[in-house]
Structure formats: C-alpha cells, structure tokens
Amino acid sequence: MTTLDRLRQVVAGVPRGKVITYGQVAAAGGSPGAARLTVWALQKGMGLPWHRVVAAGGRIALPGEQGREQRLLLEIEGVKFRGNRVRMDLQNWTPRTPASRRKP
C-alpha cells in the first residue's frame, strides 16, 4: 500500500454531498502537509471523485472550465456555495478510516 493508494482511498471515501480539502486528504493519508501529493493522486487516480476535493477554506482550485464543472458537479450533489467557496461549515468531511487506524 503506497501513500498514493491511501490518498486515493481517502478521496474515494468522500460521500456524495461532502467535500474535503487537499490538506485533509494528505493528512488522512498519513502525510500531513503534503497537499501536493493529493494533486498527484488525483491526476493519476482515475475514477475518483476529484470534484469533491477543494483547496483550503473550500476554494475551487481549478481555473476556468474545469472549475466551473467542479462547482456544477458539487452543486448537483447538494453542496452549497458561498460565492466561489464551498460552505466548509456544512460540507467538510473527515474520513473515519484514516491512516491512524493502522494496527498497533
């Protein structure tokens, strides 16, 4: 199980209607601070709900078209927006099966 695999699992574990930040994914995957790994994981990981991953504070990281699409997809799933930000107060998701669950 590589780090990227865990990151992908975290992303895959985000339920519909919720979002998570790059930092949270990285932290949950066992590498706090390595938000860029999350980027990598998403680019490589196909079939992942990449649109449920947003930048810190719920900002949409993608520029232009892709950003619009992400926002669309999220709205379709029931995520509420405040300007160009997600309402993290409501939509933030924290995985319940993080790397912290490793066997002792």
> What is the contact surface with DNA in residues (CB under 7 A)?
2-4, 21-23, 31, 33-40, 42-44, 50-51, 53, 55-57, 59, 61-62, 70
The distance of closest approach from Cβ of residue 78 to DNA in the complex, given in angstroms and rounded to an integer, is 19
Cβ pair 61, 30 in contact under 8 A: no
When the beta carbons of 47 and 104 are compared against DNA, the nearer one is 47
When the beta carbons of 59 and 90 are compared against DNA, the nearer one is 59
The distance of closest approach from Cβ of residue 42 to DNA in the complex, given in angstroms and rounded to an integer, is 4
Q: Given the structure tokens 């990281």, which residue do they identify?
A: 61
Q: What is the spatial distance between Cα 35 and Cα 27, in angstroms, rounded to a whole number?
A: 8
88: how many CB neighbours lie within 10 A of its CB?
17
When the beta carbons of 4 and 90 are compared against DNA, the nearer one is 4
Q: What is the spatial distance between Cα 79 and Cα 77, in angstroms, rounded to a whole number?
A: 6
The distance of closest approach from Cβ of residue 104 to DNA in the complex, given in angstroms and rounded to an integer, is 21
Q: Kindly compute the dihedral angle of the four CA atoms of residues 86, 66, 20, 11, in this order, to the nearest 10 degrees.
A: 160
The distance of closest approach from Cβ of residue 34 to DNA in the complex, given in angstroms and rounded to an integer, is 4
Q: Which tokens go with 26? A: 């990285």
When the beta carbons of 22 and 93 are compared against DNA, the nearer one is 22
